[in-house]
Structure 1
Amino acid sequence: MTTPSGSTRIGPAADESYTDTVRRLAAAQKSGKGAPAYSRFVNRKLGRLFAAAGFHLGLTPNGITAVSAAFSFAGIILLATVEPSWWLGVLITVLLVLGYALDAADGQLARLRGGGSVTGEWLDHMVDCLKISTLHMCVLISFYRFWDIDERWLLVPIGYAIVAAVSFFAQILNEQLVRNAGLKRGTAPSATSTPDERPSVVVSLLKIPTDYGLLCLIFVLLGAADLFLAAYTLMFIGSAAYLLAATVKWFGQMRDLDRGGS
């Protein structure tokens, strides 16, 4: 059986239940090394449930990416166009959380179907980059249009957008440079854990300020201007501080690669 695009449709075995698929995904879960707490302990599990459902429905990873984008950008557009209130904050939070969970599902669905594709990885990163940038720009628009605050607070979402974009770019660039260095040496260095290396819970907790999932959750405070502004600003400060510290570490890692180290 083929999909309309002509690609072979890949689905579960006849005797595999939804629960069996979820268990199979859990056993093949990627390492949690480097992932902040919400993304690691909550979002990946939610993504697993959506990936298994997509597998049984015959969806493709790119299809899941498109659905994820629809939820995320629906919330982002509401943020810029509707006056803040409690109901809006809850709605935006739900849309962003669902979008993020589906974002974790596309890669897991690809593994269920036998592996991902360059096209899928490219699409996933492009959507993520657009989502991260537009979210903070729409916070800026909301502040400007609807909030009675000092204009200096507008610098917070501007700074947050810069930090988020640089952090995302650094993550992708670091992975690519490490991979290229490994290919040149005939090895394959990786940012993921080895089977014997258990990801640190402490590291995941320390990365909470950088957690996109936590950022999604604070929009539930949108109806309380002071609380949201405080939480959003603290997230920005934490993310900026982490980026500054991580940049020093990353620069040292790149110097090690230049010297031929691992």
Structure 2
Amino acid sequence: MASLLESIRDVYRASRKKEDIAWNVYVARPIAAILVALLRPTPLTPNQVTFLGVAIFFVAGAAFIALPGAWGFLVGALLVQFSYLFDCADGQLARLKSMTSEVGSHLDFLMDELKAMILAGSLGIRLWMLDGQAYWLLLATAGVFLVGAATSLTNFVRRPEYAGVEIRPGDSARKRAMPTSLIGKVLWLAEAIARYFVHYPSWILWVALAAFVLPFDAAIVFLALYLGVYLVYLARTTLAILLKLAHPGFYRS
């Protein structure tokens, strides 16, 4: 047992990112190191691990739709966490096997956004299954649209032709120093909160557990917070693009 724990510890230390969010550092990646230790001797490639994580996420979406009540949401949330372990393991495995690639990083980003669409759509359908109200289907459609539009905008503003620099997948997860001005601190805090809610594996379990003791529907609370952040991001990014590209001075820069 001691040698196994040492092996898992060594895998974690050898494959972790230099800069990462707290949930990954203290929860997800240490657990994923167990999975990586098991997968390392196998012929599975990092990209295949990525696809396995997506397949598990489809099962999570089906669980959200098929299983009602607080327990059903908890099962779905646990499957989301299980899928996320594969999302962490693919990069860790790639670093251990020296199989990292630029296209692999972009694949990981693409699959993350696909899972976000599955999550928004399946929870909207879940709410429709509970009371049959058609506006939940509209919410599911709107949620998938928000995620898809935000993904397209993110890809656009990351283009070096627009940003002026090369921005790789995962750069947004890097820590940013807090500004010195009061307005800068407020904006920095707002962005930090938004990044937290966008990264749903960090908090979806807390919503699932809270639904057992508080009088709310976990799916409604989750979608309100999650899609609310996407809506703000979509509005802010669209406005920034309009101000930059629609201004006549753009052609003189």
TM over 0.5: yes
Higher fraction of helix: 2
Task: List gaps (5 residues or longer) in structure 1.
Answer: 1-15, 183-187
Q: 1:45 to 1:219 in 2, by over 3 A?
A: same
Determine the C-alpha separation between the residues in 1 that align with 2:157 and 2:113: 16
Alignment pair present for 1:90 and 2:74: yes
What are the Cα deviations for residues 222-259 of structure 1, in whole angstroms up to 9, with x where unaligned? 7876343234223322331233234445667889xx79
Match of 1:17 in 2: 7
- CA displacement at 1:107 relative to structure 2: 1.8
Q: Check the 8 A contact 1:136/1:157 in 2, yes or no.
A: yes
Q: 1:70 to 1:172 in 2, by over 3 A?
A: same
Match of 2:184 in 1: none
Determine the C-alpha separation between the residues in 1 that align with 2:227 and 2:80: 18
Determine the C-alpha separation between the residues in 2 that align with 1:228 and 1:239: 16
Alignment pair present for 1:112 and 2:96: yes
- CA displacement at 1:42 relative to structure 2: 4.2
Give the TM-score of the pair, scaled to structure 2. 0.69
Q: Check the 8 A contact 1:163/1:243 in 2, yes or no.
A: yes
Alignment pair present for 1:169 and 2:155: no
Determine the C-alpha separation between the residues in 2 that align with 1:142 and 1:230: 13
- CA displacement at 1:89 relative to structure 2: 1.9
Match of 1:31 in 2: 19
Where 1:72 maps in the other structure, the secondary structure is helix
What are the Cα deviations for residues 83-142 of structure 1, in whole angstroms up to 9, with x where unaligned? 412332222111111112211221222122224235534543443343222222222322
Moved more, 102-111 or 54-63: 54-63
Determine the C-alpha separation between the residues in 2 that align with 1:127 and 1:229: 24
Superposed counterparts of 1:98-247, under 5 Å: 98-117=82-101, 120-121=104-105, 123-144=107-128, 146-148=129-131, 150-177=133-160, 181-182=164-165, 192=171, 202=189, 203-214=191-202, 216-217=204-205, 218-219=207-208, 226-247=217-238
Determine the C-alpha separation between the residues in 2 that align with 1:250 and 1:40: 34
Determine the C-alpha separation between the residues in 1 that align with 2:36 and 2:92: 6
Match of 2:50 in 1: 65
Match of 1:51 in 2: 36
Where 1:59 maps in the other structure, the secondary structure is coil
Match of 1:4 in 2: none
What are the Cα deviations for residues 13-47 of structure 1, in whole angstroms up to 9, with x where unaligned? xxx93322211223xx1434xx6x64676445544
Give the TM-score of the pair, scaled to structure 1. 0.67
Where 2:171 maps in the other structure, the secondary structure is coil
Q: CA RMSD in A?
A: 4.0
The one-letter code matched in structure 1 to 2:51 is: A
The one-letter code matched in structure 2 to 1:243 is: L
Determine the C-alpha separation between the residues in 2 that align with 1:199 and 1:54: 36
Task: List gaps (5 residues or longer) in structure 2.
Answer: 1-5, 179-187
The one-letter code matched in structure 1 to 2:54 is: A
Determine the C-alpha separation between the residues in 2 that align with 1:225 and 1:175: 38
Determine the C-alpha separation between the residues in 2 that align with 1:75 and 1:127: 15
